[in-house]
């Protein structure tokens, strides 16, 4: 049993239609349901105790089963400790085990929780913390230093550059890219009364909300994991919030969704809904494992969107949205957007071309160059 399982067993699933239960689920050795999704079967009959240690590098060593024989993990997966990050790590483990029988042995895959800068600093807006890689830096360091073998990331958290000695050769099948509207009193953003407060940590969402609904107010330091944000909403700190539908689906929490926003109403973040898995450049064994999981259609779409973001040199202070997908004719259709932080100006563009890596990267870069030219100096207030 690893610390990921232990952490999840202590978490509550938030249901906005009733008060949260004060009961805490405890782990059993069977299938455990926590945070709205089922954990894999846990079979450690000789489990004696769990030990948790914090190292100077910031990563937490997982709880280990004390057994008569010590088993060395074939793959050590690094991930953040949020329920969503853990769900993505378990999804990765499940896919690896389905492809490779040797990984189904107990203890063959070990999940290592790593606390990142973005997890540690919750009192400030992301834009004020500054820098890139707020949710990936410490995980990348653990990968480079050999503490883990692969790193599982939400692709929208991954900077457009990768650290030296690492590659990101794998994207899992992409989930729904749209944003979900969460509210106890209204069915849509348009139904919110003037002056209503919408909570979000995303300038992308803030700018698009204010552009279309200037009578609303946006609380931009609305941070925390999905469960924390839903609790704040239920407590009346805001009247509504927006969350990525992909995350809610992975957590089994779609019952909280009041409406799903169309792409015309809210263009998603670059790489939203995509999971990326990185390994070291010199680790052919892990690269081969990841090659068996890669979904090429997703990888190409993400590459197109990230080329757009890289061209714009986007940061947490830059409202940017972009989405690439295969159309009915098998071509790539890309839409991109940049906005002023207050939403008073929004610039959009689109591209269409062959669903081929080189063409799609070129489309993303070209779209970014166009919007940079149209925006002009000082557009983002940087």
Active site members: 157
Question: Cα 252–254–257 angle (5° rounding)?
Answer: 160
| Alpha carbon distance, N-terminus to C-terminus of the chain | 47
Q: Could you tell me if 216 and 192 are in contact, meaning their C-beta atoms sit under 8 angstroms apart? A: yes
Q: Count of CB atoms within 10 A of residue 123's CB? A: 8
Q: What is the dihedral of CA 44, 48, 54, 60, to 10 degrees?
A: 10
- Which residue reads 């992409």 in tokens? 174
Measured distance CA(322)–CA(368) in Å, rounded:
10
Let me know if 258 is exposed, middle or buried by CB neighbors in 10 A (0-12, 13-18, 19+). Answer: middle
Distance CA 347, CA 373 (A): 11
Phi/psi at 253 (nearest 5 deg)?
-120, 30
Distance separating alpha carbons of residues 242 and 55, to the nearest angstrom: 35
Tokens of 232: 């704040």
CA dihedral in degrees (241, 268, 262, 370; nearest 10)?
A: 130
Which residues are registered as beta bridge partners of 179?
Answer: 244
The DSSP string of 216-285 is: SEEES---S-HHHHHHHHHTTS-SEEEEEHHHHHHHT-GGG-SEEPPTTT-PPPTTTT-EEEEEETT-HH
């Amino acid at each position: 049993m690893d610390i990921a399982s232990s952490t999840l067993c202590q978490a509550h699933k938030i249901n906005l239609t009733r008060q949260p239960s004060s009961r805490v689920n405890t782990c059993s050795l069977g299938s455990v349901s926590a945070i709205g999704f089922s954990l894999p079967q846990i079979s450690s009959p000789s489990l004696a105790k769990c030990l948790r240690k914090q190292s100077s590098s910031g990563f937490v060593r997982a709880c280990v089963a004390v057994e008569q024989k010590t088993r060395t993990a074939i793959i050590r997966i690094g991930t953040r400790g949020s329920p969503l990050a853990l769900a993505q790590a378990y999804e990765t483990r499940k896919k690896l085990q389905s492809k490779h029988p040797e990984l189904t042995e107990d203890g063959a895959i070990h999940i290592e929780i790593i606390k990142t800068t973005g997890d540690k600093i919750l009192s400030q807006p992301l834009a004020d913390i500054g820098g890139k890689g707020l949710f990936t830096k410490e995980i990348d360091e653990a990968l480079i230093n050999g503490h883990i073998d692969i790193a599982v990331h939400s692709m929208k958290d991954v900077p457009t550059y990768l650290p030296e000695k690492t590659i990101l050769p794998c994207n899992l099948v992409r989930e729904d890219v749209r944003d979900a509207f969460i509210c106890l009193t209204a069915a849509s953003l348009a139904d919110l009364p003037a002056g209503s407060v919408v909570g979000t940590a995303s300038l992308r969402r803030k700018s698009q909300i204010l552009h279309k609904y200037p009578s609303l107010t946006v609380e931009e330091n609305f941070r925390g994991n999905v469960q924390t944000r839903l609790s704040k909403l239920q407590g009346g700190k805001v009247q509504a919030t927006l969350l990525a539908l992909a995350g809610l689906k992975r957590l089994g929490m779609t019952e909280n969704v009041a409406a799903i926003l169309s792409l015309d109403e809210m263009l998603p973040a670059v790489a939203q809904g995509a999971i990326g898995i990185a390994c070291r450049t010199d680790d052919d064994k892990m690269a081969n494992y990841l090659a068996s999981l890669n979904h090429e259609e997703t990888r190409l779409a993400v590459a197109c969107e990230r080329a757009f973001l890289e061209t714009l040199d986007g940061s947490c202070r830059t409202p940017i949205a972009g989405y690439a997908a295969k159309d009915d004719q098998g071509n790539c259709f890309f839409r991109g957007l940049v906005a002023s932080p207050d939403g008073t100006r929004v610039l959009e563009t689109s591209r269409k071309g062959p669903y081929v890596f080189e063409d799609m990267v070129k489309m993303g870069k070209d779209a970014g160059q166009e919007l940079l030219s149209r925006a002009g100096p000082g557009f983002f207030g940087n």
